[in-house]
Chains A and B, each alone.
Chain A
Amino acid sequence: MNAPTPAAALSPYSSSNGKVSIETHTLSVLVDNEPGVLARVVGLFSGRGYNIESLTVAEVAHGQQLSRITIVTTGTPETIEQISHQLERIVPVHRVTDLTLLGGTVERELAMVKVKGKGENRMEAMRLADAFRARVIDASLESFIFELTGAPKKIDDFVELMRPIGLVEVSRTGVAAITRGPGAM
């Protein structure tokens, strides 16, 4: 009479079949740039227990008052599909596109990395920055601030390399993303 219980002890109200594959997706959300719209989007994630890895937002069409929000999120494919649908329910949302599902996308992030050091460390920092095509945007006798643009992985790598040399702090913008080719979201 009882259906077989899955091996993994899941909640009886969970629909998961025990095979959990967590994926990272980048969602692009076109919204009306009106007060509270970001709170609606962020509140949806906190209210329903979804993850936000990174979030960027800026107005992209001044005349039409449109902003583009780029969200990097993680979850099972079902959860991510649900997130898209939930976002579409928000009234000022025009369009939600799962860029990861579309395939060819370009993702970029900008970081400012402050490094402190003297002597050989200072030289090493400059050499590495050169290799990563980071620009120096501020310098003092014992510090640099590098500006670096790239995919998140490249920035992670750069930050890790700076750590032993004298990393002070990092400020990152979060990911902006766009599809390749002539099409739009």
Chain B
Amino acid sequence: MSKMMTGAEMVVQALQDQGVTTLFGYPGGAVLPIYDALFHQKKVQHVLVRHEQGAAHAAEGYARSSGKVGCLLVTSGPGATNAVTGLTDALLDSIPIVCITGQVPTHLIGSDAFQEADTVGITRHCTKHNYLVRKIEDLPRILHEAFYIARSGRPGPVVIDIPKDVQFATGLYAPPKNSQHKTYQPQIKGDLAKIKQAIEMMAAAKKPIFYTGGGVINAGPLASTLLRELVAQTGFPVTSTLMGLGAYPASGKNWLGMLGMHGSYEANNAMHDCDLMICVGARFDDRITGRLDAFAPNSKKIHIDIDPSSINKNVQVDLAIVGDCAHVLDDMVRLWRAEGHTPDKKAHEIWWAQIDKWRARKSFGYKKSDQVIKPQYAIERLYELTKNRKTYITTEVGQHQMWAAQHYHFEEPNRWMTSGGLGTMGYGLPAAIGTQLAHPDALVVDIAGEASILMNIQELSTALQFRCPVKIFILNNEYMGMVRQWQELLHGGRYSSSYSEALPDFVKLAEAYGLKGIRCSDPAKLDDAIMEMIDCPTAVVFDCVVDKLENCLPMIPSGKAHNEMILPDADADMGSVIDEKGKMLV
């Protein structure tokens, strides 16, 4: 099926052959030939964003909600540099995206030509891999290889930088082959001897816990099914990182809630006191571990990860299993059953009794109000009114994101799109657009803050143009709430630059973009307003005016251990809980 065609045609043909149906992008001088090739076909829909960062986040939202590779096309120079934040975000959260960038013609590279930037140099540290295509002969192989690398092993972003003369050049195109890459061959199957050892450790554990992460989501829906099966068989409690929410259902009886800095009291205390931790597809990030020298001090640790470099990076583990979560969990379920293991019932009863005591603290509780909308209440109501629909949630970054993680409950994987590793404000709206395009019939809600949403507000135009009925649910407290909270904690309540003065009128802003705006500040009217938002056929900007000074609790203060959480009902002076060493941390 090899065929002669131009480089630009090869790009479009390769996208089609790789199954890409949605391409996010923004045209410019160095990608015009590719845009011309797109013009002549219908299989790949091009979604015009309003800023290249939006294209990258939209591709991420598309990828994370569908399990497919997200794809974007941007021009050279500023097009590429604008995409860098999105690429870095995808790297830290292991999201498979392919970013095609235009480049000045090869003979001009290095001459500081118009809109020239050293794209492969700039993106080397924020991609899993990148390519500068110097010859048309290399282009077909690189295009297919890029998709293979983006989706294989630990997924991640890949950049293909294509000079304009290569786009015009003619060469022989070959469709993708299922051949193995010569150097990149991630280990998929786990070592059976080690899995057997893990099963034995699990059978002997008295205070076990599953600590799961985004790797379970990345391994596909089967991994979530297998995790549920293993939890059911063993009866162990299970907690998850921010990235892993939905792998185990929030309604499951073994669910402890999210762990980490803003995780639940029961999850964090169970992590601290456990005697066996089974980490599945998570990476012992500093948001999770808190103070490392006091991290689960009396536990044995099993770590399942597809990336060998995640093992022993932050925390030394007792047993490491390199492999894809789905494959390893499959072997674990099989072996647990085959060897007829029964967990230590008596010890587990004591362990669960202890967990129930922690649960009874109700660490996600908050003071109710009928005067002002509490942000937690807003999320609770949003959850209650959307839980019976096919709902996808994206978020921006800050307090609202943590409240969403605490109070919105996920039953399925791939329903929760948030910027975890990089913490990118401005992620949620473009990610919601990407998610909506992957799931046209679903309800997609971006839970936002009034500060974050302004970082990529221009994408409202994209939502209008491509008829994406995304719902932007802004918890508006007029502060960069998490910054304000940390200033209260660390800097004596001196709110330096964290008050959002001169905010736009979000209702009028929505209307200016040709969309619907709704404002609500009365708790009694909140349900009706949310229903109005859900029922609206177009995109909606919902300005939910909430309590301005609410803090996001519970919280492990920086530099503290899992069992040193600040609880919502604690009377501690917020300004005195973090010591000098903790102040140095982020």
Contact = CB atoms under 8 A, between A and B. Distances in A.
Interface string A86-101: 1011011110000000
Interface string B110-146: 0000000000110011001100101000000000000
A107 interface: no
Nearest to B121: A39
Contacts of A39: 121, 124
B183 A93 contact: yes
B564 A14 contact: no
B292 A15 contact: yes
Contacts of A11: 581, 584-585
B435 to A, nearest CB: 29
Contacts of A40: 124
Contacts of A93: 183
Contacts of A89: 307, 309
Interface stretch (B63-71, B191-199, B312-320, B514-522): B312-320
B563 interface: yes
Nearest to A18: B293
B4 interface: no
Interface stretch (A77-85, A115-123, A177-185): A77-85
A104 interface: no
Given A1-B564, A15-B316, A78-B316, A91 B293 contact: no
B561 interface: yes
A12 B291 contact: yes
B277 interface: no
B293 A3 contact: yes
B183 A91 contact: yes
Contacts of A94: 182-183
B297 interface: yes
Nearest to A82: B313
A21 interface: no
Interface in A1-16: 1-3, 5-6, 9-15
B440 to A, nearest CB: 35
A6 B293 contact: yes
A34 B364 CA distance: 53
Contacts of B563: 1
Interface string A51-76: 00000000000000000000000000
B581 A12 contact: yes
Per DSSP, chain A at the interface is loop
A15 B307 contact: no
A85 B307 CA distance: 9
A3 B181 CA distance: 47
Given A3-B293, A6-B293, A43 B312 contact: no
B422 interface: no
A5 B128 CA distance: 38
Of the four ranges (under 10, 10 to 19, 20 to 34, 35 or more), the interface on chain A belongs to 20 to 34
B349 interface: no
A13 B183 contact: no
B382 to A, nearest CB: 34
Contact of A13 (B134, B181, B292): B292
B71 to A, nearest CB: 19
A35 B312 CA distance: 32
A123 B311 CA distance: 58
A40 B564 CA distance: 41
Nearest to A5: B293
Interface in A104-138: none
Contact of A91 (B149, B309, B313, B316): B149
B581 A82 contact: no
B559 A12 contact: yes
A82 B292 CA distance: 18
A145 B414 CA distance: 67
A36 interface: yes
A32 interface: yes
22 contacts: A3-B291, A3-B294, A3-B297, A11-B584, A11-B585, A12-B292, A12-B582, A13-B289, A13-B291, A15-B292, A15-B293, A15-B315, A32-B183, A36-B124, A36-B132, A39-B124, A47-B125, A78-B312, A85-B309, A86-B309, A91-B149, A94-B183
Given A12-B559, A13-B292, A15-B316, 17 more contacts: A2-B561, A3-B561, A5-B293, A12-B291, A12-B558, A12-B581, A12-B585, A13-B559, A15-B292, A17-B293, A32-B183, A36-B120, A36-B132, A40-B124, A47-B125, A86-B309, A91-B149
List 5 A-B pairs, minimum CB-CB distance, nearest first: A3-B294, A85-B309, A12-B559, A91-B129, A12-B291
